[in-house]
Structure 1
Amino acid sequence: MQFLIGWCIIFSLIGFCSMGIDKRKAQLGKWRIPERTLFLIAILGGSPGSIAGMFFFRHKTRHASFRYGLPLIFVLELIAVLFLYRLRFTA
């Protein structure tokens, strides 16, 4: 369980930073991080950080796919973690 928590913390930091980096690149008119990559980071456990970065940097907040997709990913990940936690302690 500690590994899972550490994994999520690391990917949340990556998600937060990637939102900030992509926002800065957008402002400078440079090459951007693909949306597919931003979603992949969220799916790999970085959804809390990605959501925080989205609102902190005010980036991708107008995109419905991010505004609703990232919270949906977070809820699904939370359900999975609770299921694994319950499975571990009831078996």
Structure 2
Amino acid sequence: MSILTGYLAVINFITWVAYGLDKGRAKSGKWRIPERTLLLLALIGGSLGALAGMIMFRHKTRKAKFVISVPVMFVVHCVIVTMLYLQ
């Protein structure tokens, strides 16, 4: 399980950084990280980082697909991780 914990720590950090970078780029009018990439990072285990990034950077909080899908992914990830740790 330590591999899973390490993976989740890394992917959530990367996702959180991506949300922060995208917010910074949005403010300065530079090239943006595609929404699809941000959602994919959340889907592959970075939902906590995405949720933290949305709250901390106030980013993507008006987009329904983020406001709905990221918390749903987080709950699903919590259930999966809990089931894996209980085995």
How far apart, CA to CA, are the structure 1 residues paired with 2:75 and 2:26? 28
Look up the match of 1:40: 40
**SS of the counterpart of 1:74?**
helix
Look up the match of 2:7: 7
TM-score, normalised via structure 2 length: 0.93
Residue type at the aligned position of 2:75: V
**SS of the counterpart of 1:11?**
helix
Root mean square deviation of aligned Cα: 1.0
Structure 2 gap segments, 5+ residues each: none
How far apart, CA to CA, are the structure 1 residues paired with 2:20 and 2:7? 20
Percent same amino acid among aligned pairs? 47
**SS of the counterpart of 1:30?**
coil
| Rg larger for | 1
How far apart, CA to CA, are the structure 2 residues paired with 1:17 and 1:5? 18
**SS of the counterpart of 2:49?**
helix
How far apart, CA to CA, are the structure 2 residues paired with 1:24 and 1:84? 36
Structure 1 gap segments, 5+ residues each: none
